[in-house]
Chain A
Amino acid sequence: EVQLVESGGGLVQPGGSLRLSCAASGFTFSSYEMNWVRQAPGKGLEWVSYISSSGSTIYYADSVKGRFTISRDNAKNSLYLQMNSLRAEDTAVYYCARVEITMVRGPVGFDPWGQGTLVTVSS
């Protein structure tokens, strides 16, 4: 079964740091591009960051650029998000999501998603 499991969320003070992890199983992790997507309480989905299968290409949303760092360890089938200088507006459920690939069309959206991990930034 293809599965993504996030961990590392919790309560952190403004200005603090947190590292999220996403453990992948059931597929060849090193062959897939990955993303982090977040959802603030009661709000919609916001893409946060992307990393290519090799880790050589990385993108960030403007809202987190310079504060968050995405990385992966293909030997450990794991994706990470290092979050520094956290702000109240970073409070959200953070999901890791795999880029779905089809034979005919290539990348076609995100599937599957992990169950999410809640990050709360508050004093």
Chain B
Amino acid sequence: AIRMTQSPSSFSASTGDRVTITCRASQGISSYLAWYQQKPGKAPKLLIYAASTLQSGVPSRFSGSGSGTDFTLTISCLQSEDFATYYCQQYYSYPPYTFGQGTKLEIK
């Protein structure tokens, strides 16, 4: 199975900051990568697919990049509603679909 590793596992930032989360795959997955946002007590929400394509309705301050094994999710100007946990997921080779362990973004 392809392992997905996110870094950092958690960190603190302030409203207005630019933040970057990294996701690394244990083998090449081309651009078959999705990013999800999950708020406490809520279901995950698809933000980005194909590594860099924003899902409909997702604000443009979110962006994704990468291919092969290394990917990033960037939030250009943090808003209060962006404090959440973010997961990457590979859909290049399944089963199993695999997720990263999550990155919890907290308010500083």
Contacts and interface: CB of A to CB of B under 8 A. Distances in A.
B99 interface: yes
Could you say which interface size class chain B belongs to?
20 to 34
24 contacts: A45-B36, A45-B38, A45-B87, A45-B89, A46-B99, A47-B95, A47-B97, A47-B98, A59-B94, A59-B95, A59-B96, A62-B96, A100-B46, A105-B49, A105-B50, A105-B53, A107-B91, A108-B34, A108-B49, A109-B34, A110-B36, A110-B89, A111-B45, A114-B43
Given A50-B94, A59-B96, A44 B55 contact: no
Interface of A: 35, 44-47, 50, 59-62, 95, 97, 100, 102, 105, 107-116
A58 to B, nearest CB: 10
B104 to A, nearest CB: 10
A102 B97 CA distance: 18
B87 A109 contact: no
Contacts, number: 70
B74 interface: no
Q: Is the interface of A mostly helix, strand, loop or mixed?
A: strand
A111 B46 contact: yes
Nearest 3 A/B pairs, CB to CB: A109-B34, A108-B49, A111-B46
Interface string B18-48: 0000000000000000101010001111100
Contact of B46 (A47, A105, A110): A110
B43 A109 contact: no
Interface string B67-108: 000000000000000000001010100111111111000000
